[in-house]
Structure 1
Amino acid sequence: MARRFSRFGAGALAAMLAAAGLTLSSTSTASATDWGSCLEGPDDTQAVFARAAQVSGVPEDVLLAVGYMGGRWSHHAGQPSVSGGYGVMHLTDRPVAPVSAPDKGDAATGLPSRAGTLVVAGQRTGLSAERLRTDPVANICGAAAVLASYQPGTTAQGPAGWSKAVARYAGTADRQEALNYAGLVFDVIRAGATETNDLGDAVTLAADPGATLDTAAVAGDRVLRPGVQELECPSTIDCDVVEAQYRRTGPAVTQYVNYDLADREKDLSIDYLVVHNTECTYDVCTRLIKGEAEPNRFVSWHYTVRSKDGHVDQHVATRNVAAHAGNWYLNMHSIGVEHEGKAGEPGTWYTEALYRSSAQLVSYLATQKGIPLDRAHVVGHEEFMSSNYKWDPGPYWDWEHYMALLGAPIKPDRRSGPSQVFTVKPGFTDNARTLTGCFATETQPGRACPSFGTNYVDVRTAPSDSAPLVWGSTDLVSDRDARAVAGHKFSVAGRQGDWVKVWWDGSTGWVKSPTGKKSTLVPSQGEVVEPVRQSVPVYARAYPEASAYAGTPVPNQGQPTVTAPDGSVLTLQPGQRYVVADRTVPTDYYHAKSFDNSLPGDKTVVRGQQEYFQVWVGHRFGYVKAEDVRVLSGR
């Protein structure tokens, strides 16, 4: 009989490995599954398969069939096959190279390799590569961990439910090759098999003639990949691909730049189109996105629109998550479009060519992704809370002109009856102001701005031109806290002469809106929310409740709140009313922490039951929990 490998408990594992000159992987990212229990117990091959199935959740017949395809359940004394596979389960440390011609393109430029099954097994179980190669029990347990990681959260016990995992185990990025391999595995499941392996163990796989490969699941399993394989632009504009860099910056899989892989066509909705300005010239920003400047800086966006001629470059495929908003929830659900220009240099950069080209791009993307063309979904970076104080596209972006180019002009839209909902429409060229702090550099303070059209109305503490702005705001070009930008919707709380009292950031403010042609607010309609208790918090992200993370390897992300300008948590009070921007907000969190999506929980979308509403609360949008408010008609 072939030599047996001793088993030992999880507590003694590290010591035994050390004594043998082996170690647990120093970069282990072992999952919460107790893989020590898979190692313990009888070492008969049939018993190990049964135990690995129980611990991993992968059906035993699937494990057995995959193992049979490697070498008919033989261990081969830990020696590699001609293709570099080890052990009963043919674990390999060879990476899965990208195909030379991806489905949606003709180049594999920049595509990373996917980790081999031996590497993934080590990451999932914490076992060293040497252990996985030489110990048949560890080899089977490691392979079970790999298959489970390929379909996280799957509870199906029939083989068909694991078709995608089986195909991925083939170790190829070519879909047809993976499908062929999975077909061979399912042939074995249907026919059954009995063998005595080189360890002297009799192993049996009972036949399941009705087992069917789910080819649709295999065909729909897209290996996440960087790069832009298909240009996503309308044919009416000049558009090229200038790919954002995607590479590792250090030895750990968590060290990489500069966006995250996803499959948002399947897993996440794209709900927002975010308008940015670059704060750098087109040439400098091109060097930045390619990694030629600040190569280790984690920042990216999907598109850049050039000022002089409206030329567009796509940098990141829209299926992937770019790092453009400083708010992970907004990044998850948006496409970022940068416009060459500087928010503190009025009018210098926002050419008509830029406006028109951008409008055609955004209109195209809205149609492709099903995004409403309104100011609740075509938004400025400054209109959501971000981890770094951003105020682009700033006061000199002509929102009224831009929305008109999109075919969604800001205009009176009240259809019938009275309503307390109004929309900000201040004009632009006839809304000129002289602000301060323009043309600032890293070494030079800003100076007075020339008089130029702006896109907002002031929100003051009292109905007077001499009253202070709310939150102690100033005329500094970057000070946005007291500015209601074109397209913003208010619920009106009262009137006094030319002044309108509005709810703003948990309190009230006053906006000047004379009647007639000088009116800055136009009648609108919509639903409003009113808090049902004291101090209702406003949330910066619509993240799931804590219980939604149970049973996943993803840690609870909490429910971050919006910070008011004075540093406190922004809260709303009973009697206040804020206009609903969207009642169909997704409650989710996408976990992406590594370069190759190899860490536990990567690619997992945690979905919650908590219901949120997106609302206009001040200069930013926020989210409120449905249980904290009641929805009223706005009349």
Structure 2
Amino acid sequence: MATSLALAGLALTTPSASATDWSACLQGSGDTQATFARAAKVSGVPEDVLLAVGYLGSRWSQNAGQPSVSGGYGVMHLTDEAVSATSAPAKGDTNRGLPDRAGTMSVARDETGLSLQRLRTDPVANICGASAVLASYQPGTTAQRPAAWSKAIALYAGTADRTEALHYAGLAFDVLRSGATETTDLGDTVTLAANPDASLNEAAVEDDRLLQPGVQELECPATIACDVVEAQYRSTGPSPTQYVNYDLADREKDLSIDYLVVHNTECTYDVCTKLIKGEAEPNRFVSWHYTVRSNDGHVDQHVATRNVAAHAGNWYLNMHSIGVEHEGKAGEPGTWYTEALYRSSSELVKYLADKYGYELDRAHVVGHEEFGSSNYKWDPGPYWDWEHYMTLLGAPIRPDRRGPSSVFTVKPGFTDNARALDGCFTPARPCPSFGTNYVDVRTAPSDDAPLVEGSTDLVSDRNARAAAGHKFYVVERQGDWLQVWWDGIAGWIKSPKGETADVVPSQGEVVEAVGKPATVYQRAYPEAAAYEGTPVPYQGQPVLLGADNKTAITLQPGQQYVIADKTVPTDYYFAKTIDNSLPGDKTVVTGQQKYYQVWVGHRFGYVKAEDVQVLSGR
């Protein structure tokens, strides 16, 4: 099933060309009133709505095919792309000089097949083209009451700002209520009869899903200091697929936000701020939602949370998460993660959890390194104090089950879990002994056994590290050692009994492969059938790869892995252009395939429900 977000922000183009025979609109009298009547009949848009919209733009005059000061042409004021631009405000907190309006001319061309030149210069074609635009903005609408067309009228304004769209629609309804009569520059007399009962449906306009760049409203708790430093949103080349640096969406309505992703910046606050604004490296484009500064915990918002930022290297995770960067360097222990940073970040994350409803646990407050991604990332790294952070979030990592359990949660402590790793700083050199957030996973129950998957003690080598908050199933115990399943193979974690234990007993259910190995997926994408009948191409179901980045991870029959979430959304958001010019752009495809999110090693993966059975973790 696909749900198309209504025509958005900078382009307001339609997903597909209209099948209407627009030649019928072009044939007949060139009288302006007669053309409006004919266009209404062919398009299905009420004649009085067409007249009101035309009156706002030109008072029904053609103006000899010359553009208005804002780039509108003809009777219906059809606009070319990017007809005007905002100025750069002193605070830099709006669209920063980017076009704030979208063209209706190209929509009219795509819907009718008429050339841009004819739409500009031929008044009949201009009216027919505009009726096609309005029909495309509210497809399937057959009602003739003007109120039923409130959304289409607002979208015709071509603005990404809801207030402006409402204002424009309100003006059109003023004209509908008062009526008008004009003699045009073609010598025709055109009349719109007054309709005193015409009433704008503001609720329909509010639900029009106008997708907006920029941060219109700072989203931050009152308990911390926050500002706006906007990420770029602009074209970078001639193709509409060439743009930066995030994707417009309406995630409060169409995509759930289920994860908060913790990152570290790997640059100083000043440099990162310049990167966000495109000032540090002109050809490097980055985006995330927030940055937390180290020395004082100051927070900057870069992307509105309704939009999808490019922060995780995993489109599914991007679709469903908010990314927060923390000023720091993952390979420089103790240098960056201040208490001010931890506390401000936790206040922000609690505020966002309250707003969006994601869970404050380690299955949903996650590190970038804990999901498969297109780029090898290992932030926030071994020196991020997960236990302290989760305590600040009001969700401490602690036993949630009395007595013995086959499910455990990793809780190694931090300051008393000091290690001297390799490869810190630049150039790489041995790391000083410092607290870490993980326990090793070895190939056998011995301190001398190699780490699983050929891992090393490099600070960046994440493949054999069970981080604080992760859950596993105990296959067996040998002395101080616990056997677990890890990326499809057996691994061993050392955890002495008693107060020095590195794990705590936990509640939880587990999955086990049924009959044959169960593939682990990197993203919970829909099945192929969900895309049928939509203009969105099938995206496949990418698998999670092992440490060699080549071999797909599978769960073997008889192996048990703890479930992190049983209510995973199965969807895909198609967002490929800056101007909605691809068929189906800004469409959510929702599937019927059911997935479970599971801990499979140092990362999370998704397994199909039919490939596994769910068992109690006792």
Fold-level similarity (TM above 0.5)? yes
Is 2:310–2:318's contact at 8 Å kept on the other side of the alignment? yes
Over 3 Å counting, the alpha-carbon distance change for 1:353 and 1:42 in structure 2 is closer
Q: Distance in 2 between matches of 1:460 and 1:265?
A: 43
2:613 aligned with 1:627, yes or no?
no
Secondary structure of 2:363 counterpart:
coil
1:403-414 maps to which residues of 2 (within 5 A)?
A: 403-414=390-401
Alignment of 1:347-426 (within 5 A): 347-414=334-401, 419-426=405-412
**Matched residues in 2 for 1:611 and 1:155: separation?**
32
Equivalent residue, structure 1, for 2:450: 468
Q: What is the letter of the counterpart of residue 296 of structure 2? A: D
CA distance in 1, matches of 2:105, 2:26: 23
Instruction: Give the structure 1 partner of residue 589 of structure 2.
Output: 606
- The aligned counterpart of 1:24 is none
For the Cα contact (< 8 Å) 2:408–2:474, is it kept in 1? yes
What corresponds to 1:519 in structure 2? 501
- Partner residue in 2 for 1:438: 424
Q: 2:168 aligns with which of 165, 178, 185?
A: 178
After superposition, the Cα gap between the structure-2 partners of 1:68 and 1:214, relative to the gap in structure 1 and judged at 3 Å, is closer
Amino acid across the alignment from 2:510: V
Bigger shift: residues 219-228 or 353-362: 219-228
User: Do the aligned partners of 1:31 and 1:125 also contact (CA within 8 Å) in 2?
Assistant: no
Matches of 1:360 and 1:101, distance apart in 2? 31
Aligned to 1:18: none
CA distance in 1, matches of 2:194, 2:518: 60
1:160-189 per-residue CA deviation (whole Å, 9 max, x = no partner) reads: 65431222113455133233245368769x
Q: Which deviates more from structure 2 when the two are superposed, residues 546-555 or residues 509-518?
A: 546-555
* Residue aligned with 2:317, SS: helix
| Residue 7 (structure 1) aligns with | none
State the distance in 2 between where 1:465 and 1:315 align: 46
CA positional deviation for 1:130: 1.0
Summarize the alignment of residues 564-583 of structure 1 with structure 2, pairs less than 5 Å apart.
564-566=546-548, 567-583=550-566
- Counterpart of 1:375 in 2: which secondary structure? coil
Aligned-pair distance for 1:630? 2.2
Kindly indicate whether the alpha-carbon contact (under 8 Å) linking 1:398 and 1:428 is maintained by their aligned counterparts in 2: yes
3-state SS, counterpart of residue 516 of structure 1: coil
Deviation of the 1:148 alpha carbon: 5.3
- 8 Å CA contact 2:45, 2:131 repeated in 1: no
1:57-116 CA distances to partner (integer Å, 9 max, x unpaired)?
xxx1447732674269989597358676545654232746589999xx996645532322
Number of the residue aligned with 2:31: none
Deviation at 1:264, TM superposition (A): 1.9
Contact 1:163 1:182 in 2 (8 A): no
Matched, 1:66 2:50: yes
Residues paired across the two proteins, number: 589
Are 1:234 and 2:218 an aligned pair? no
**Structure 2: distance between partners of 1:126 and 1:620:** 50
Question: Paired residue for 1:158?
Answer: 143
- 127 and 565 in structure 1: CA distance in 2 versus 1, 3 angstrom threshold: farther
RMSD: 3.7
Q: Pick the aligned partner of 2:598 from 606, 609, 615.
A: 615
Of 496, 511, 514, which aligns to 1:532? 514
The AA in structure 1 aligned to 2:478 is Q
CA displacement at 1:509 relative to structure 2: 1.2
Query: How far 1:284 sits from its partner (Å)?
Result: 1.1
Q: TM-score if structure 2 supplies the norm length?
A: 0.84
TM-score where L is the length of structure 1: 0.82
Q: Which has the higher contact order (CA 8 A, sep 6+)?
A: 2
Within a 5 Å distance, the mapping from 1:57-206 to structure 2 comes to: 60-62=44-46, 65-66=49-50, 69-70=53-54, 76=62, 79-80=65-66, 85-86=72-73, 89-93=76-80, 95=82, 109-110=96-97, 112-122=99-109, 127-134=114-121, 139=126, 142-143=129-130, 146-147=133-134, 149-151=136-138, 154-158=139-143, 162-171=149-158, 173=161, 174-181=164-171, 183=173
Pair 1:281-2:268 in alignment? yes
Aligned to 1:57: none
Structure 2: distance between partners of 1:572 and 1:141: 59
How far does the alpha carbon of each residue in 1:349-396 deviate from its partner, in whole angstroms, 9 at most, with x for none? 112221122112212221222121110111000001111100000011
1:38 touches 1:48 (CA, 8 Å); kept in 2? no
- For the structure 1 residues 476 and 127, does the alpha-carbon distance in structure 2 shift closer, same or farther, using more than 3 Å as the test? farther
Please state how far the C-alpha of 1:136 moved relative to its aligned partner: 6.4
Cα 1:166–1:486 shift into 2, 3 Å: same
Structure 1: which 5+ runs fail to align?
1-26, 54-59
Partner of 1:8: none
Q: Flag the 1:357–1:92 CA change in 2: closer, same or farther, 3 A.
A: closer
Specify the SS of the correspondent of 1:518. Answer: coil
SS in 2 for 1:387: coil
Q: Is the 8 A contact 1:587 1:610 kept in 2?
A: yes
**1:611-631: CA deviations, max 9, x gaps?**
222111111111122222222
Q: Give the Å deviation of 1:451.
A: 1.3
Paired residue secondary structure (1:503):
strand
**Is the contact made by 2:62 and 2:185 (CA closer than 8 Å) also made in structure 1?**
no
Contact 1:48 1:137 in 2 (8 A): no
- C-alpha distance in 1, partners of 2:185/2:158? 24
CA contact (8 A) 1:175 1:219 kept: no
Matches within 5 A, 1:199-218: 213-218=200-205
Going from structure 1 to structure 2, the CA distance change for 1:207 and 1:110 (only over 3 Å counts) comes to: closer
Query: How far 1:219 sits from its partner (Å)?
Result: 2.7
User: Is the contact between residue 166 and residue 202 of structure 2 (CA under 8 Å) also seen in structure 1?
Assistant: no
- Partner residue, 2:467: 485
* 1:459 counterpart residue number: 441
For the residues of structure 1 that align with 2:196 and 2:298, how far apart are their CA atoms?
A: 58
- 1:519 shift after superposition: 1.2
Mapped to 1, the partners of 2:445 and 2:397 lie a distance apart of 25
The percent identity for this pair of structures is 70
Structure 1 equivalent of residue 320 of structure 2: 333
Structure-1 residue corresponding to 2:3: none
**Secondary structure of the corresponding residue to residue 474 of structure 2:** strand
How much does 1:134 deviate? 4.1
**What secondary structure is seen at the aligned counterpart in 2 of 1:243?**
coil
Measured in 2, the distance between the counterparts of 1:611 and 1:144 equals 43
User: Structure 2: how far apart are the matches of 1:131 and 1:610?
Assistant: 48
In structure 2, C-alpha distance between the alignment counterparts of 1:632 and 1:108, rounded to whole Å: 52
Mapped pair 1:505 → 2:495 = no
- Distance in 1 between residues matched to 2:529 and 2:311, nearest whole Å: 29
Q: Deviations over 1:191-247 (max 9, x none)?
A: 9x9x999899xx999999999753201133353222222222222222222222233
Distance 1:546 1:196 in 2: 54
Secondary structure (helix, strand or coil) at the match of 1:143 reads helix
| 1:599 Cα offset (Å) | 4.3
Answer yes or no: is the 8 Å Cα contact 1:395–1:455 preserved in 2.
Answer: yes
| Cα distance change, pair 149–46 in 1 and its aligned pair in 2 (3 A) | closer
Task: Give structure 2 stretches of 5+ with no counterpart.
Answer: 1-10, 29-34
Query: Contact 1:344–1:438 (CA<8 Å) still a contact in 2?
Result: yes
Using the TM superposition, give the Cα deviation of residue 326 of structure 1 relative to its aligned residue in structure 2, in angstroms: 0.9
